[in-house]
Chain A
Amino acid sequence: DIQMTQSPSSLSASVGDRVTIICQASHDISNYLNWYHQKPGKAPKLLINDASNLETGVPSRFSGYGSGTDFTLTISTLQPEDIGTYYCQQYDNVPWTFGQGTKVEIK
């Protein structure tokens, strides 16, 4: 199975800060990497597909980058509604696997 490792596990930042979350795959997954955001008590929401394609309706402050084994999700200007947990997910190989999540809080 392909292991997905996210860092950090949690972070606390101020409104307006630039935030970067890292996701590393144990094997080359090309760009078969998605990012999801889950607010407390809610279903996950797809933010970015294929490593860098922003989903329709997702604010442009979100961006994704990477290929192979190393990926990043960046929030250019953190907003209060961005709190919650962010997950990366690979779909290059079954079983599809998620990172353990990065919990984002407002300082």
Chain B
Amino acid sequence: EVQLLESGGGLVQPGGSLRVSCAASGFTFSNYAMSWVRQAPGKGLEWVSAISGSGSTTYYADSVKGRFTISRDNSKNTLYLQMHSLRAEDTALYHCAKGGLGLVAAALDFWGQGTLVTVSS
């Protein structure tokens, strides 16, 4: 059974940093691309970033480019999102999502429940 468990969210001041994690199980993690998708309170879905199975290819939304870094540790079956220079508009529930087999561009076929990041003073 596929499981994705996010952690690391919390309250952070504007300009601060935070790293959220996603522990994966139930599939061969290194074979699949992964993404982060966020959802501001009461709002819709916004894709944030994606990474290939090997970690060699990454993509970012313009709204986070230069501030966020996606990475993965395939030996630990864990996906990360390092966030710097956080802004109030980054406040959201951050979901990790499983992507394509061997393809970064593919449907997100399983999502975690998310970890809440709140940026406020």
Contacts and interface: CB of A to CB of B under 8 A. Distances in A.
Interface of A: 1, 32, 34, 36, 38, 42-46, 49-50, 55, 85, 87, 89, 91-92, 94-101
Given A96-B47, A98-B47, A46 B109 contact: yes
B110 to A, nearest CB: 8
A19 to B, nearest CB: 19
B109 A55 contact: yes
Contacts of B44: 85, 87, 98-101
Given A43-B95, A43-B114, A95 B47 contact: yes
A38 B113 CA distance: 11
Contacts of B111: 43-45
Contact of B47 (A45, A55, A97): A97
Interface residues of B, number: 22
B108 A46 contact: yes
A36 to B, nearest CB: 8
A91 B112 contact: no
B26 to A, nearest CB: 15
Contacts of A91: 105-107
A38 B37 CA distance: 13
A44 B112 contact: no
Interface string B30-69: 0000010100000011110010000000011110000000
A2 to B, nearest CB: 12
Contacts of B62: 1, 95
With a 10 A CB-CB cut-off, give which of B45, B50, B113, B114 has the most chain A CB atoms: B45
22 contacts: A36-B108, A42-B113, A43-B112, A43-B114, A44-B45, A45-B111, A46-B107, A46-B108, A46-B110, A55-B109, A87-B45, A89-B45, A89-B108, A91-B105, A94-B59, A95-B59, A95-B60, A96-B47, A96-B105, A98-B44, A98-B46, A101-B45
